[in-house]
Amino acid sequence: MLLLLFVPAAAAAQGPVSARFATATSPDTSRERTGAGRAFLASALLPGAGQKLLGLERWVPYTAVEAWAWARFLDRRSEGLDLERRYRDLAWSVARRVSRGPRRDGEFEYYEALMRFGASGAFDADPLRGGLQPELDEQTFNGSTWALARALFLRAGADTVPPTAPEYQKALEYYQEHAIAPEFAWAWGENGLEQQVFGRLIGESDEARRAATRVLGLILANHVVSAVDALVSSRLRAARANPPPVEIESMLEPQGAVLRWTAALRIAWPRR
């Protein structure tokens, strides 16, 4: 048996059926009126803020994660900078005593080279001769750079190529661009233990910086998850506060030896 009932919206105060629709049109609280966009933006800026506006208790973990993550980031970043200062000072006081001129710190790749090579080698192996004479000791950084330049630009039998040849000049240009100049020269000499400490400081500094970067990723994820959570929660609340005007109810009840199934379609028909 199917019953089709049309219930005027204007009669919301009459009877149990219209009372159900009255909750959809009753005044909302301020939290129920919180817009999805507002909640989303609030949590995107500060995780947990949108949940707080919606009156949800889970704003606490979002905010706690945000506070912990920023504290962790600042701590690891500070540690990385302190370790960087320490290995640069160690390099200057021990290995770079052969450098010319005032102290000038290099990029990270420069200090990686200090860790791998015991000495930079001479930039000009024979300053008394005219022109530039590349370092030939391949155990040094400059010597390995010249070996790489020869492999890149000089054909087989490179030792017989005259300095005036175009390919030799290209190799020399590469050497001049990548070799260590006198103002950045270094030599660990007999200070092998200090070089090991230097390498350990570089590794710890690099790890601290990577950890800080990972924490930044966690901070970003916390903002995104909190914002999406606030948006979905606000939309779900709005859907519950404004149910659709069509509602289907069914009832199954025994009548003697048979079961009677009744279905009702209720429509809140707005009155003009």
Tokens read off for 46: 């500060």
Angle between helical axes of 59-93 and 108-116 (0-180°, round to 10): 60
**Helical ranges in the chain per DSSP H:** 15-25, 36-45, 49-53, 59-93, 108-116, 141-153, 166-178, 192-241
Helix (H, G, I), strand (E, B) or coil at 5: strand
Higher pLDDT, 237 or 68: 68
What pLDDT does residue 19 have? 40
What pLDDT does residue 204 have? 97
Mean pLDDT across the chain: 83
Residue 244 CA neighbour count, 13 Å, CB half: 5
Q: Return the residue matching tokens 């219930």.
A: 7
Contact assessment for residue 22 and residue 12, using Cβ atoms and an 8 Å cutoff: yes
Confidence check: pLDDT of 197 > 70: yes
The residues pairing with 268 across neighbouring beta strands, listed in sequence order, are: 7
Residue 249 is inside which H or E element, if any? Answer: strand 246-255
Mean pLDDT of 166-183: 94
pLDDT band at 262, cuts 50/70/90?
A: low
Tokens read off for 251: 């009832």
What pLDDT does residue 113 have? 96
Higher pLDDT, 31 or 55: 55
Confidence check: pLDDT of 228 > 50: yes
pLDDT band at 52, cuts 50/70/90?
A: very high
What pLDDT does residue 179 have? 97
Confidence check: pLDDT of 133 > 70: yes
pLDDT band at 138, cuts 50/70/90?
A: very high
Tokens read off for 179: 């070799």
Confidence check: pLDDT of 156 > 70: no
